[in-house]
Amino acid sequence: MEITILGAGYVGLVSAACLADLGHHITCIDPNETRIAALRRGEIPIYEPGLDLIVARTTANGHLRFDTDPARALASAEVAFICVGTPPRPGDGEADLGFVFAAARDIARFARDQIIVVTKSTVPVGTGDMIEGLIRRMRPQLEFGVVSNPEFLKEGAAIADFMEPDRIVIGAQSAWAGNIVASIYAPLTQKGGATILRTRRRSAEAIKYAANAFLAIKLSFINEIADFCEAWDADIGDVATGIGLDRRIGTDFLQPGPGYGGSCFPKDLRALLHSARERAVGLRMVETASAVNDARKWAMARRIREAIAGDIAACRIAVMGLTFKAETDDMRESPALAVIAALQREGAQIRVHDPRGMEAARDLIEGVTFAEDPAACLRNADILVIATGWREYAALDPRAVAGLMRGRKVFDLRNILAPGAWRAAGFDLRRIGEAQPPVSIAFTADEPRRDHATLGSVARQSFRHPAPSVGETLVHRPAMKPAE
């Protein structure tokens, strides 16, 4: 099928590449000329694992093209997917539909008869009706359909989510339009058995908001339970596993952290609440999840601040991880931004590192030192904060880190560091959802057991070794067997 995708961002680009890989003929358009020029050169403007390979394959076989000109791209399209941003309007949080309506106007101007307009952008309930009205006003004679097909992909796992979706939601007011959209996904439903759910258009729009609200509530819930575990000396890891094994609850989205961020949950909850207010509907659980999350980011900064005994201006803090989660370069609403801003306000000196987010971070964060690699970030730091759960940080060798840092305090806001090894290396490791541990007990098989207080200092001395040079690997190679 001939399909035009409007928007070459996280959703548009992934959708374009995957639909091209399913055998469709895709033109992906975006007014951002730099972005389209880069894509034409084979450069991927976002980091999404595996996307580069699919784009390379589908551009080489002629199934995927990039353009900036909507007239050219829409002239022969049978279907147009709107995948543009719907950012929150400052102040009231209402979804700004300016980009969506601009895309709809392009479709009205340039599309041929019988075009199916598919909204993949996350849009408030009723937006499909507005798009339909807009196109009808601009082209009264045009035959067209407007379908809602919300996208549920997760950045970092977007290709797998698109190609093996839990469900494909198609909300249409006519069987004709809905059937055409369903046929686009036929390779997935036939081969992989993906389930298609057909609904009315408004229900499809509501499903997307309800899904994100539910997931955000789950995250805020587990974060509050983590605080409860800290207060009562229970372990959030065990508690999350224990409740997640209940199939009614499920294990996903039960990892505690510094609060959710990203381009979807915060803005979608605000937009949902705005829509609810418009119809005087109370969504108190959604409101609370959102408030709990906002407060959490600052609570993380406060926790770090409280651990600094002396003059904060003399304290060097290494913040590792800036993106809102691992495996993406997306910085939108990242909790790391709030934590850094709060610590900066207190006067701390901050050095930051991220495997993929440095470029975007330079535009967003001022007054910090951007370290080229983990070693440069850690050197002479008093406190280490792990703000994003990158695998490379989980693999840091605590003994090598001990050789680099000046202090021994570590705030693991993602619970990715192996507590035994880090405490054995002399670190005062604070994790989420774990009561402040007793003085670390550290001994090896061939080392006699001693009392706790002595062991703390033994651990600090015996595992300290020369600092690796900048760029030298800091990857954890377990040499000693720490006692838990």
Residues assigned a catalytic role: 264
Could you tell me which stretch among 95-103, 351-359, 386-394, 406-414 binds ligand NAD (CB under 6 A)? 95-103
Decide: is 88 part of the binding site for ligand NAD (CB under 6 A).
Answer: no
Could you tell me which stretch among 150-158, 302-310, 351-359, 361-369 binds ligand NAD (CB under 6 A)? 150-158
Decide: is 264 part of the binding site for ligand NAD (CB under 6 A).
Answer: yes
Decide: is 99 part of the binding site for ligand NAD (CB under 6 A).
Answer: yes
Q: How far is the CB of 327 from ligand NAD (least distance, A)?
A: 12
Decide: is 6 part of the binding site for ligand NAD (CB under 6 A).
Answer: yes
Q: How far is the CB of 318 from ligand NAD (least distance, A)?
A: 28
Kindly report the backbone phi and psi dihedral angles of residue 365, in degrees, each rounded to the nearest multiple of 5, phi listed first: -120, 130
- Pick the closer one to ligand NAD by CB: 34 or 141: 34
Decide: is 149 part of the binding site for ligand NAD (CB under 6 A).
Answer: no
Choose which of 1, 44, 102, 358 interacts with ligand NAD (CB under 6 A): 102
Decide: is 83 part of the binding site for ligand NAD (CB under 6 A).
Answer: yes
Kindly report the backbone phi and psi dihedral angles of residue 170, in degrees, each rounded to the nearest multiple of 5, phi listed first: -125, 110
Could you tell me which stretch among 102-110, 167-175, 336-344, 444-452 binds ligand NAD (CB under 6 A)? 102-110
Decide: is 389 part of the binding site for ligand NAD (CB under 6 A).
Answer: no
Backbone conformation region of residue 103, classed left if phi is above 0, alpha if psi is from -120 to 50, else beta: alpha
Decide: is 263 part of the binding site for ligand NAD (CB under 6 A).
Answer: yes
Choose which of 18, 84, 116, 377 interacts with ligand NAD (CB under 6 A): 84
Cα separation, 386 vs 304, in Å, equals: 11
Decide: is 329 part of the binding site for ligand NAD (CB under 6 A).
Answer: no
Backbone conformation region of residue 253, classed left if phi is above 0, alpha if psi is from -120 to 50, else beta: left
Nearest to 349 by CA among 311, 393, 299, 306: 311
Q: Which residues, 6+ apart, have CB-to-CB distance to 416 below 8 Å?
A: 386, 389, 390, 393, 394
- Pick the closer one to ligand NAD by CB: 165 or 321: 165
Decide: is 30 part of the binding site for ligand NAD (CB under 6 A).
Answer: yes
Cα separation, 206 vs 329, in Å, equals: 28
Choose which of 3, 4, 7, 360 interacts with ligand NAD (CB under 6 A): 7
Could you tell me which stretch among 16-24, 98-106, 248-256, 399-407 binds ligand NAD (CB under 6 A)? 98-106
Cα–chain-centroid distance for residue 169? 22
Cα separation, 154 vs 101, in Å, equals: 25
Decide: is 44 part of the binding site for ligand NAD (CB under 6 A).
Answer: no
Report the site for ligand NAD in 9-28 (rule: CB under 6 A). Answer: 9-12
Choose which of 4, 27, 59, 122 interacts with ligand NAD (CB under 6 A): 122
Q: How far is the CB of 267 from ligand NAD (least distance, A)?
A: 7
Decide: is 385 part of the binding site for ligand NAD (CB under 6 A).
Answer: no
Angle between helices 284-306 and 335-346 (to 10 degrees): 40
Q: How far is the CB of 119 from ligand NAD (least distance, A)?
A: 9
Cα–chain-centroid distance for residue 446? 44
Q: Is 461 helix (H, G, I), strand (E, B) or coil?
A: helix
Angle between helices 236-244 and 201-232 (to 10 degrees): 140
User: Which residue spans within 11-159 are E strands per DSSP?
Assistant: 25-29, 64-67, 79-82, 115-119, 144-148
Decide: is 103 part of the binding site for ligand NAD (CB under 6 A).
Answer: yes
Decide: is 433 part of the binding site for ligand NAD (CB under 6 A).
Answer: no
Choose which of 31, 49, 126, 437 interacts with ligand NAD (CB under 6 A): 31
CB atoms within 10 A of CB 42: 11
- Give the CB-nearest residue to ligand NAD: 9
Task: Give Dmax over CA atoms of the chain in angstroms.
Answer: 87
Compute and round to an integer the Cα radius of gyration of the chain. Answer: 25
Could you tell me whether strands 369-370 and 409-412 are parallel, antiparallel, or unpaired per DSSP bridges? unpaired
Decide: is 211 part of the binding site for ligand NAD (CB under 6 A).
Answer: no
Q: Which residues of 224-241 are buried (b: 16+ CB within 10 A; e: fewer)?
A: ebbbebbeeebbbbebbe
* Residues of this chain that bind ligand NAD (CB under 6 A): 6-12, 29-32, 35, 83-86, 99, 102-103, 106, 121-122, 151, 153, 155, 263-264
